[in-house]
Structure formats: structure tokens, C-alpha cells
Structure 1
Amino acid sequence: MRALHPAAPVQAPFSDAIARRIARPFAPRRPWGNWSDYCYTRLKLRSDPLYPAVIAALRHSRSPVLDLGCGLGLLAHALRMAGLEQAYLGLDIDATKVRRGQQILARSGLADARLEVHDLGCSRPAHRGSVTLLDVLQYLDQPTQQALLADAAGMLDDDGVLVIRSTLAEDSARGRTSLRADAWAHRIGWMQTRPQHYPGAEELQRPLEQAGLQVQLQPLYGNTPFNNWLLVARH
């Protein structure tokens, strides 16, 4: 069922000082190294309210976090910076990103955090706790999206929270900008797969409500031109 009370206020992006602090482990060990991960991470943290919003959603839960489509594992660093100590497991199909993320985790010394390679299009891991799906769904076809949403709902324990950030299917300036950006990310090799299906709001909410979850959905634009929305669901 949908929440009857107003959605929580949209979070602002991190300040530059906090963004620098979180991004520091992503910098190369030597000044002449590759700075692309550091620059991408710092820019994302300064412009995108995603991670403050996820932190707010998970703040009062102690359940372990399964981050599906984790990329470099940036969420783990943001959670620890905010003082959240839930066990963290990040899964992603991109083995190159996972390997770099593992190296960054090792340098950072974050406790109880790990990354693994996993293809969500083929199977889902066993898990009980909280689940995050951040900018992942559009890279799966519609039937796989619906199956993954139902599976994610079934992973939540009594204290668990499901946090989803996704571009919604809308014929708007933000929607068209999101499509172009995703296509560009694939062309330059940042994303291994092309977007397959952008869900509508009802497609996101229906399988979660059918699983008996309370669902909140709100825009999460921040200082970006993209049509990003945040969904938070819990028992």
C-alpha cells in the first residue's frame, strides 16, 4: 500500500568538503596515476542527492545491505562516512569495476564491506535485510525488472528497507536527457549494457504493493538534468 503521510523531504547533494572526503580513497596512489574514478566520484557526490537520500532511508535500520548493481561500491563509503555500520555486500556484472572497487575497499579498510561479480539477469542471491537498486533497472528488460522487484521485496526482513533510484519513462526534457546520457555512458564503455526498458511509476510500485510493502515515490533531481526518482519501501 502507498504511504498516506507525506514523503520525506528531498535530500541535497553532499557539500564539496564531504564529497572530497568520501572520494579520497578513489584517488590514485601516485600523482601521475589515473584520476578518472576520483573525478567521477567527487562530481557525482557534489551534484547528485542520491547518497544522502539513501543514507536517510537506511539511517534507522540495522539490517545488512545488499547493493544490487553496486559499480565501484561508492555506497559503502558513503554509509561509513555517515556512521552507518550495517554489513554491506555489493554485486555488479562489471568485473572490471568490481575489481577496482575491491582495491579501493582494501585501501580504505572499511569494516564488513565487500564486492562481488554477479549477473542479476541470471539469478538473485539469498539475502535477508535491506536492498538497494540504484540506477540499475533500466538495464534489464521489463519481465526481469518485475521479477527482480518481487525478489527484492521478498528479501526484506522486518527492519529492512528497499531503496530504488530509477529514471522513469516520461516524454519530457528530463526524460530525453536521461536517455541520451545512458546511451552515451554505454558508448564510452562506462556501462557494459545498453538500457532496455525504463519503467513507469506504476510498474515500480505495483509488485511492491502486492508484496504488502508501504511505498513512497518522489523526484530526486538534485543539481542534475535527469529524470531520476527515489522509491523507498518497507513493511
Structure 2
Amino acid sequence: MNAVGDAARPLPPERAQAIARAFLPAHPLGNRWDYYYSRVKLGSDPLYPGVLQALRGCRAPLLDLGCGLGLLAHALRLDGQTMTYRGVDSDAAKIGRGVRAAARAGLDAQFQTMDLARELPRHRGSVVILDVLQFIPFAQQERVIDAMIAMLTPGARLVIRTGLDDGTRRARITVLVDKLSRLWGWMNAMPRYYPDADALRARLAAAGLQVEFTPLYGRTPFNNWRIVAVRAE
């Protein structure tokens, strides 16, 4: 299978299990939610292979906006990618648990709590924002996109995964599940605005970036796409 096809597959079970072990509770009777979530997420969603492929060969420092538990940091190290990693998220509880899991796995990663709808960290290098953009209101979303573009150094990469507003059945399912994620308490915000593909492509291209859109939903029912934008060297 070609590289794009391989990126549409989830991580192999043994790799998903290796990462998930860092999220086991310290006590045998402790809460195993993060462990099972990580194992299922990594083993069923092609998100991480797709992002790993997009970042290979780039050593620019990486900022992970909306990092959640920091699963990408674990996947990068397992893939042999050693760029500096910093993750930020508005959910302080997830950040705390991500810090503990990273320490347990021996990762050299930084984490910070930050509300992306209100502020953004200073950064120069590559940026990823995965399954988060749709939770930021439209006006702030444009500001976030422009800020991410400004962070890119020559050769650095912006990697986005997001649902797109294209009127398909997949798009409707994506909206429903994102809303349920808020009701279930996994996400701390409701979805606000799903990007239009043509408008997003034009905004990135107007900034002088090389842009590529690739479906990244694999066997899931969601309308998730990978957008890779590269700042020419």
C-alpha cells in the first residue's frame, strides 16, 4: 500500500498498547478510563499515523494546540521523531494526567493549560491542531489560523485535522458525536464552527503555504480531514 493509504490506518495494536500503558493508574484498583480510551483511540483512529507521516523529516520545534492527554507526544517518540514537543490545552485535568503519563514514559515533553479561544502561546516552528478547530468560535478561529501561520518557520509544517462543513452524511455524524462528547463530559466545549474547505485552502495558500487536503477518517464514520500546510524553505 502507498504512504497515503498506510496513513489512513490506525496504529498497530502492539503500538497502541505500548502507549496506553503509560496511562494505567498507579494503584491496581485506580481509574482506568484514560488507559482504555488511549488504547481504543490509538487502535481505531488513523489520526496519529496520518500526523506522524506529515511530520516526518521535519525537526522544527512542535506546538500541539489542544493536546488533550498528549497522546501525540508518545506516538512521535515511538515513531523515532525527536523534535521538541510542547502541548497546550484548556482542560487542566487532562493536562495534569498527561504530565503524569509523559513522566511515566520518560518523555521530554512540556505541557501547559491555556484557553485557545482567548490566548495563544508564543512559538516558532511547526504546529498541529487536531480535532479542536471546530470547538473554537468563527471569529476566534480565524485569529487562531492566522496566528498558527505566523508561527511557521521555513520548512516547518502546520498539520490540522478537523471535520469540514460539506453537507455530507459524515459531516452530520461528526457534529452529532462532537455534541455528545460535550454532554458526556469528555470535551469541555460544544462544537462552534466547522471550516469550509475552499475558504480554509484559500486562506492558507494566500499566506504563501503549500497546502494538501487528505481524507483521514479511515473506517470511522466521521468527516475528518488532514490539512498539511508547509512554509517553503
Q: Same fold (TM over 0.5)?
A: yes
Identity %: 47
Greater relative contact order (Cα < 8 A, sep 6+): 1
1:215 deviates by 0.2
Gaps of 5+ in 1: 1-6
In structure 1, what is the equivalent of residue 50 of structure 2?
53
Root mean square deviation of aligned Cα: 1.3
Confirm or deny that 1:81 pairs with 2:78: yes
SS in 2 for 1:209: helix
Question: Which residue in 1 is equivalent to 2:14?
Answer: 17
Structure 1 stretches of at least 4 aligned residues deviating more than 2 Å after TM superposition: none
- 2-side partners of 1:160 and 1:95: how far apart? 28
Distance 2:162 2:80 in 1: 26
**Residues 1-235 of structure 1 correspond to what in structure 2 (within 5 A)?**
9-10=4-5, 11=7, 12-111=9-108, 113-235=109-231
Deviation at 1:157, TM superposition (A): 0.7
- The two structures have a TM-score, normalised by structure 1, of 0.94
CA distance in 2, matches of 1:55, 1:183: 27
Distance in 2, Cα, partners of 1:74 & 1:60: 20
- SS of residue in 2 equivalent to 1:198: coil
Task: Give the C-alpha shift of residue 49 in structure 1.
Answer: 0.8
* Separation (CA, whole Å) in 2 of partners of 1:202 and 1:123: 26
Give distance in 2, aligned partners of 1:64 and 1:159.
Answer: 11
Equivalent pair of 1:55/1:79 in contact (CA under 8 Å): yes
Q: How far, CA to CA, are the matches of 1:177 and 1:38 in structure 2?
A: 26
TM-score by length of 2: 0.95
Per-residue deviation at 1:134? Answer: 0.2
User: For residue 3 of structure 1, what is the aligned residue in structure 2?
Assistant: none
